[in-house]
């Protein structure tokens, strides 16, 4: 649900051009394909376009791409003559850079006609000629510089590891489990209960409401760890090899608790079963007519002073039966000096609103964009002063926006790389598969009871039980006796009209368990570990805390209001007005993490490593962003070009893009010796190669004269030494 229209907005002066282009981007994301990783990258690259356009006219700040080498891509810049009016020049440069970039990125969107027309309209409203395409900024034209920056980011994106030219499709990953047909009972097709399973639905509609061809969506970007990051470093990275491909995992969380089918009573197996059973139990809290009342104000929720550092500590943090965590709330609003007013609502309304609000359903800007709307919401508060880290002079709107977007964009981009790097490598199962599969094995609590299996789900009176004779679920001829039943949300089959019906909570056969999602979506099409929502949100919360200089929302509380019987999408509700409230950005992040458990999407073991990684990501992103602001970043080969865990490294080929000239390849050997360099076209055909003679350890340059004869296109440079190999992309233009 779009925060842009749901948060109450104060009256504003004309927003900065960076803000206007950010809103245009968020609008385009809401009607594009629901791809959190791709949109995080779009948000980051937009932030680079805006920031570099601003920094080009600053005497202190250092641009990110303009005049630099990033990820093997060289972006020359010879400077600009001082403009007559710096603010006017900045506005024009930002607008042309963002316009060129966004039109390129959304040209294949299912809503391209709408989004491209919006971009055109904004250019016209700003008084700019959208048909001006020159990139020759030597004339002193701010518009030409904007076009140059926009085109440079486009070219950079064609070789940053995202496989944009291949529509972001994976090239090496293969699922080990056959698809689960979710409309059928149980899960008889699951081969490995620890690995991700595709889902087959009658019609797949993604989280942005787009009908997707085919009924078994593939894993979204499992090789995203290969994308060039912002603040992640080689020291943060581990490379694991499976089926000949090196999966790059940053801030490696280590493996989650696995179910050992040969020793189902091991500590890992016990935690596996506990985590997925907790998801089932929390599903019982999604009750439309819940008589359990709870205070959802910051006086009772939030304020987690410390987070579990190991999987063994998880059961002590999450409340299995009542839901939620160990947060104690806060006695006073530090901005008003008064206690937070209690807000008593039915638990079932709170949990359902929570699950849908943070799920980023139809017309959503996806999780990374969600935090950009929160940033914009905070920036608009009359009581908020735009001082970086709460110190120094108040910044004008444009400077605040470009700097805040750059820090937040870098953080959510790195969060995507970290979370999906882990997802691709660890490739873990989702609750719908794990719960159905364990229940199909039986119960693991008592060998003396029927339907026992060490790999089954533990019994829990009132929540997980065996079907008995005479039970309404026993079925014809007692066919279901001794099967596992769950007290849980009953699922979408109980909803005919979403505007008036609720599924409710009751006893169901575990083989029919559903997460709290639409039947056309069910679960996001990628592995669970680690949670993307948790990683994005904690990274963003750390950025917001740092750049504002205050852990609290303006006034001591951020809010979102869900009106009775108007907010929920796939069933009626909530039954009363519910206002989500957060004292701090971290409280909002923690609430987001819990929402994914109540929504049936993640167990705790997916959540917590995402929070811990997000904390590191956010802090490091702000540190690097502020180094750019102060001009203190060191000029060095990009972080992704120097792997710490391997014996060789490939920085890339220069110039990049190339205009049919000699190519210089920069590479490193840790132990010295001989190596081989090869050049391939995008079809995999070898077009050049040379052996590197015996060289010492360290960085070296080698030249390909063949670069003069290359046709325009994308090429791959490959460095190999023994069993080690590294590749980098280069773009050749006419």
CATH of domain 646-732: 2.60.40.2550
Does 9 have pLDDT greater than 60? no
Would you place residue 333 in the very low, low, confident or very high pLDDT band (cuts 50, 70, 90)?
Answer: very high
Does 637 have pLDDT greater than 70? no
Residue 97 · residue 146 · CB < 8 Å: yes
Residue 130 pLDDT: 97
DSSP line for 589-650: HHHHHHHHHHTTS--HHHHHHHHHHHHHHHHHHHHHHHHHHHT-----S-GGGS-SSSSEEE
pLDDT tens per residue across span 145-158? 999 999 999 999 99
Query: Which is higher by pLDDT, 686 or 419?
Result: 419
Radius of gyration of the chain (CA): 26
Does 642 have pLDDT greater than 50? no
Residue 8 pLDDT: 45
pTM for this predicted structure: 0.86
Residue 714 pLDDT: 67
Does 362 have pLDDT greater than 50? no
Would you place residue 115 in the very low, low, confident or very high pLDDT band (cuts 50, 70, 90)?
Answer: very high
Query: Which is higher by pLDDT, 11 or 177?
Result: 177
Mean pLDDT confidence for 510-525: 90
Residue 270 pLDDT: 97
**pLDDT-wise least confident of 118-127, 134-143, 431-440, 650-659:** 650-659
For the chain, give me the number of helices (H) and strands (E)?
Answer: 14, 22
Angle between helices 532-548 and 585-598 (to 10 degrees): 170
Alpha helices in 295-449 (DSSP H): 347-359, 366-379, 397-426, 431-441
Residue 285 · residue 351 · CB < 8 Å: yes
Burial letters for 657-676: b for 16+ Cβ neighbours within 10 Å, e otherwise?
bbeeeebbbbbbbeeebebe
Question: Going by DSSP bridges, is the β-strand pair 724-732/686-695 parallel, antiparallel, or unpaired?
Answer: unpaired
Please state whether 84 falls in left (phi above 0), alpha (psi between -120 and 50) or beta: alpha
Residue 355 pLDDT: 94
**End-to-end Cα separation, the chain, in angstroms:** 44
Residue 720 pLDDT: 81
SS3 277: helix
Residue 420: φ, ψ to 5°: -80, -25
Residue 638 pLDDT: 44
pLDDT tens per residue across span 555-568? 999 999 999 999 99
pLDDT tens per residue across span 528-558? 999 999 999 999 999 999 999 999 999 999 9
Mean pLDDT confidence for 596-614: 98
Mean pLDDT confidence for 603-623: 98
Mean pLDDT confidence for 476-493: 96
DSSP line for 476-514: GGGTTTTSEEEEEE--GGG-S-TTT----EEEEEGGG--
The vertex-489 CA angle with 192 and 587, nearest 5°, equals 85
The vertex-331 CA angle with 329 and 334, nearest 5°, equals 105
CA neighbours within 13 Å on the CB side: how many for 451? 20
Residue 646 pLDDT: 43
Mean pLDDT confidence for 90-96: 98
């Amino acid at each position: 649900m779009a925060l842009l229209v749901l948060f109450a907005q104060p009256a504003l002066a004309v927003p900065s051009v960076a803000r206007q282009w950010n809103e245009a981007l968020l609008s385009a994301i809401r009607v594009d394909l629901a791809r959190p990783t791709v949109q995080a990258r779009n948000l980051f690259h937009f932030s680079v376009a805006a920031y570099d356009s601003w920094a080009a006219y600053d005497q202190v700040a250092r641009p990110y791409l303009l005049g630099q080498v990033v990820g093997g891509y060289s972006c020359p810049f010879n400077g600009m003559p001082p403009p007559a009016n710096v603010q006017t020049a900045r506005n024009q440069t930002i607008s042309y850079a963002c316009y060129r970039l966004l039109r390129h990125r959304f040209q294949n969107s299912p809503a391209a006609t709408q989004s491209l027309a919006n971009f055109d309209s904004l250019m016209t409203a700003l008084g700019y000629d959208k048909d001006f395409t020159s990139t020759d900024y030597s004339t002193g034209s701010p518009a030409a510089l904007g076009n140059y920056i926009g085109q440079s980011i486009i070219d950079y994106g064609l070789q940053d590891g995202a496989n944009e030219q291949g529509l972001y499709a994976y090239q090496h990953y293969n699922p080990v489990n056959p698809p689960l047909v979710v409309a059928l009972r149980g899960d008889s097709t699951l081969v490995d209960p620890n690995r991700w399973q595709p889902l087959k639905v009658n019609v797949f509609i993604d989280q942005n409401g787009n009908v997707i061809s085919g009924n078994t969506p593939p894993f979204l970007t499992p090789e995203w760890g290969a994308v060039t990051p912002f603040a992640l470093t080689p020291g943060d990275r581990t490379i694991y090899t499976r089926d000949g491909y090196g999966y790059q995992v940053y801030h490696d969380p280590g493996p989650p608790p696995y179910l050992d089918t040969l020793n189902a009573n091991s500590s890992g197996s016990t935690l596996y079963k506990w985590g997925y059973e907790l998801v089932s139990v929390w599903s019982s809290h999604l009750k439309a007519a819940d008589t359990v009342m709870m205070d959802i104000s910051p006086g009772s929720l939030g304020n987690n002073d410390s987070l579990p550092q190991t999987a063994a500590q998880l059961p002590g943090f999450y409340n299995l039966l009542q839901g939620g965590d160990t947060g104690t709330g806060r006695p006073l609003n530090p901005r008003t000096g008064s206690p937070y007013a209690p807000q008593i609502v039915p638990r079932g309304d709170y949990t359902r609103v929570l699950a849908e609000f943070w799920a980023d359903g139809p017309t959503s800007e996806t999780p990374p964009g969600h935090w950009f709307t929160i940033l914009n919401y905070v920036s608009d508060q009359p009581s908020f002063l735009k001082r970086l880290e709460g110190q120094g002079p108040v910044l004008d709107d444009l400077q605040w926006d470009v700097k805040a977007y750059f820090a937040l964009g870098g953080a959510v981009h790195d969060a995507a790389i970290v979370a999906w790097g882990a997802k691709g490598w660890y490739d873990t199962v989702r609750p719908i598969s794990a719960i159905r599969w364990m229940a199909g094995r039986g119960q693991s609590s008592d060998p003396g009871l029927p339907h026992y299996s060490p790999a089954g789900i533990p019994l829990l009176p009132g929540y997980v039980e065996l079907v008995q004779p005479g039970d309404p679920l026993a079925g014809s001829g007692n066919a279901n006796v001794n099967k596992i039943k769950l007290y849980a949300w009953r699922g979408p089959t109980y909803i005919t009209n979403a505007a008036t019906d609720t599924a409710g909570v009751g006893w169901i056969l575990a083989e029919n368990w559903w997460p709290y999602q639409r039947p056309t979506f069910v679960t996001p099409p990628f592995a669970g570990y680690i949670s993307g929502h948790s990683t994005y949100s904690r990274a963003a919360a750390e950025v917001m805390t740092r750049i504002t200089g205050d852990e609290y929302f303006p006034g001591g509380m951020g809010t979102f209001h869900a009106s009775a019987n108007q907010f929920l999408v796939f069933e009626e509700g909530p039954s009363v007005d519910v206002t989500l409230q957060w004292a701090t950005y971290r409280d909002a992040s923690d609430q987001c993490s819990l929402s994914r458990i109540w929504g049936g999407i993640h167990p705790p073991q997916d959540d917590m490593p995402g929070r811990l990684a997000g904390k590191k990501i956010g802090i490091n992103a702000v540190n690097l962003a502020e180094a750019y602001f102060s001009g203190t970043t060191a000029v060095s080969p990009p972080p992704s070009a120097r792997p710490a865990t391997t014996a060789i490294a490939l920085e890339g080929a220069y110039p990049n893009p190339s205009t049919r000239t000699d190519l210089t390849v920069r590479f490193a050997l840790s132990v010295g010796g001989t190596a081989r360099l090869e050049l391939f076209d995008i079809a995999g055909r070898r077009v050049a190669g040379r052996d590197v003679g015996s060289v010492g350890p360290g960085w070296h340059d080698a030249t390909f004269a063949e670069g003069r004869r290359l046709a325009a296109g994308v090429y791959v440079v490959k460095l190999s030494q023994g069993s080690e190999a590294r590749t980098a992309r280069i773009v050749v233009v006419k």
